[in-house]
Amino acid sequence: MRYTLLISGVLFLLMGCGKIEVHSVGPIDIGNDYWNDIAVRGNDILVTNYDGVEGPGNRIFLYQLDSTGTIQDSVDLSMNGQGYISMAGDQGHLYLVGQTFGNRFRVSFGGNVEAMSNSEPELNGWEQGGIAYDSIDDSLHVLLWKSTDSGHIRMYSIDRETMGLQGYREIDFPGGYDYFAMTFEPNPFFPTFYILCRHEDEGDAILLLRYYPSTGLVSTVGLFSEDFCGIAYRDGQLIASTPDRRIVILNPMGSDAAP
């Protein structure tokens, strides 16, 4: 059964990427690149910009938003050419995945890159997507899916010191591809990963999936006609970012059922 999802309303209307007036450290002009994935740190929401590579030099920045959605600060991540970036965070660092080249980065909250790794050679034929931090097991995970069989997915553990890949779990989900964003709900009874991907048979439609690592079950929560760039879990709610720089609450009907 396909669930529908309600976008319960605009949580924040974000300011444009123009002049940043509070404690600015740059950028300032990133062209028309839309928001990427989002992460939550305390009361702040962190977001990067899609890197369309309009020119040389540093093109990717980390933005800090307050609880009203106002841009408070930005940090130059000294990157270019990473394309879409997935993001997750724990108590001390941010972890970024650049999809274009399969790079993985550990970054301080001040924007300093402290570690980097790349998809290992034996993973040729796999594409890299969403990343999420499991706060219950204190572990970091990234999704890879097979280029020739996009319904075949692996969730790899990541060594946070080296950002190298470790062991993985197999996930099978027919009908999806480009598993580009992921977040974790620390439900003490049913820890849950939520995944955003695209639907093979519905044009540019976005699927929201639910994956229970304790049982290995994956299911469809809902199907969106609106494009979303990123997802995060905040104060008991799922929030998503949009290409036009809004952050909205996702209110999935029927999504509270236990596996």
- In order along its 259 residues, the chain shows pLDDT tens digits of 333 333 333 333 333 333 323 333 334 455 567 888 999 988 889 998 887 766 777 888 888 887 666 778 888 888 888 889 999 999 999 999 988 888 999 999 888 999 999 877 666 788 999 999 999 999 999 999 988 888 899 999 999 999 999 999 999 999 999 999 999 999 999 999 999 999 988 877 899 999 999 999 999 998 888 789 999 999 889 999 888 778 888 865 434 333 3
The answer to whether 71 and 30 are in contact (CB under 8 A) is no
The answer to whether 147 and 124 are in contact (CB under 8 A) is no
Output the six-digit token pair for 141.
């995970």
Locate the domains of the chain by residue range: 5-252
Q: What is the pLDDT of residue 121?
A: 60
Q: What is the pLDDT of residue 16?
A: 32
Name which of 60, 9, 66 is nearest 35 in CA terms: 60
Q: What is the pLDDT of residue 25?
A: 36
Q: Radius of gyration of the chain from Cα atoms? A: 17
Architecture of the domain whose range is 5-252? 5 Propeller (2.115)
DSSP percent split of the chain into helix, strand, coil, nearest 5: 0, 55, 45
- Which are the contacts of 106, defined by CB distance < 8 A and separation ≥ 6? 93, 94, 95, 113, 114, 115, 116, 160, 163
Tell me the three state secondary structure of residue 123: helix
Q: What is the pLDDT of residue 259?
A: 35
Q: What is the pLDDT of residue 97?
A: 94
**Cα separation of 1 and 220, whole Å?**
9
Q: What is the pLDDT of residue 185?
A: 96
